Amino acid sequence: MNYEEILRSRGVSVKTTADLSVFIVCPFHDDHDASCSVFKDKGNFHCFGCGETGKFFELMAAIDGVPVRVARREFYEEANVEEVLSNLEHHLLLQDEAVFSVTSFDQDEFHRRFPSVSVHPEALEYAKRRGLSSILIERFDLRWGTRRGSMRNRIIVPVYDEKSRLVAWCGRAIHGEIPKVKKKERTSNVLFGLHELLMIWDRSFLPFNPLIIVEGDFDAEYLQELGYAAVATLGTAGLSPRQLALVLKCAKSVVLCYDNDTGGRKAVEGYVKKDGTIKRGDREKLEELIPTYCLTLPEGKDPNDLPPYQIHRYFGQYRPRARKRRRV
Ligand SMILES: [Zn+2]
């Protein structure tokens, strides 16, 4: 994506330098000197005047005076998702229809029923304590389970499939007295977090190399927050056939990182058996289909239990690389 051109096409005056970035007048403060630098390759910005920093779509939201959600959709969804999904659709059609069907729920109804997590300070605090920024909380559309029903007093984590359809939600208790996670529907046909990756990441990162696969929703969110391409299977049983198809379509290599508690250990063993076959779904060997690495975290730890510096220590080598772009 040519960020410089997008800025110019909106009448923003752009100061170029020989450097990796261009400078514009900052839309976040009363700027007279073009203090805001926009990186040419990724579109991220940083203002040397007011310190505001973020992604390109956040800058565009400020320039256009539209909600971040709208700007994000406009600039990323079309560019990234269309291309990937046109291929993906075809890919999935080649598979068994019955196995791959996805039932979805009405998103507006879901939003009416569960308010944004920000209405509940304690829940918001919990999400932030787990390392999620406001941007991520919005991106993953975290909701609050209010007072009644089986989802009461839980953070509701919606599960969107790769085409932005709401297929399930999980309730995560923020206090110890009720089980940690409760699932509303089957989630085995989606890769949690893939939707968000496709929406946000520059398409030069596709296919992901590698795609990190974890078990839990917050683990995937946390890793994404720290700059990794991570998705979650939301279960201990390994990849379902549809999940496998998605992985093969969207990744060039995978890193399996399942929780290392007892259940997690079982999951890894069940995941790729000793002879290399996948326990559930396809009988093909995962490693024959795609380069596969296993990453084990210290005893009893999930990614979300580790501070950022440790995450980078363990995952640093798996930072996704962008493809080299051809100059036109
Ligand atoms: Zn500024």
**pTM for this predicted structure:** 0.65
- Cβ neighbour number for residue 122 with a 10 Å cutoff: 12
Q: How far is the CA of 31 from the centre of ligand 1 (A)?
A: 7
Q: Cα(23) to centroid of ligand 1, in Å?
A: 11
CA distance 223 to 304: 8
Ligand 1 mean position, distance from CA 53 (Å): 9
267/160 Cα distance (integer angstroms): 23
User: How many whole angstroms separate alpha carbon 134 and alpha carbon 163?
Assistant: 23
All domains in the chain, ordered by first residue:
3-66 (3.90.580.10), 71-183 (3.90.980), 202-318 (3.40.1360.10)
Pair 285, 279: CB distance under 8 Å: no
Ligand 1 centroid, distance to 27 Cα (angstroms) = 7
User: What pLDDT digit, counting tens, does each position of 183-225 carry?
Assistant: 656 777 789 999 888 887 777 778 888 999 988 888 999 999 9
The residues with which 293 forms a beta bridge, in sequence order, are 255
Task: Determine the distance separating the centroid of ligand 1 and the alpha carbon of 5, expressed in angstroms.
Answer: 21
pLDDT for 85: 52
- Give 4-47 pLDDT, tens digit per residue: 888 887 788 998 877 788 999 999 999 988 999 998 877 889 99
Q: Left if phi > 0, otherwise alpha if psi is -120 to 50, otherwise beta: which for 131?
A: left
User: Which residues are placed with Cβ below 5 angstroms of ligand 1, an ion?
Assistant: 26, 28-29, 47, 49-50, 52
**Euclidean distance between CA atoms 45 and 52, whole angstroms:** 8
Contact criterion met (CB below 8 Å) for 293 and 254 = yes
The secondary structure of residue 168, as a DSSP letter, is E
Q: Which positions of the chain have pLDDT values less than 70?
A: 1, 73, 75-102, 176-185, 236-238, 241, 259-288, 323-328
209/281 Cα distance (integer angstroms): 23
Helices (H), 149-299: 194-200, 217-225, 241-250, 262-271, 286-289
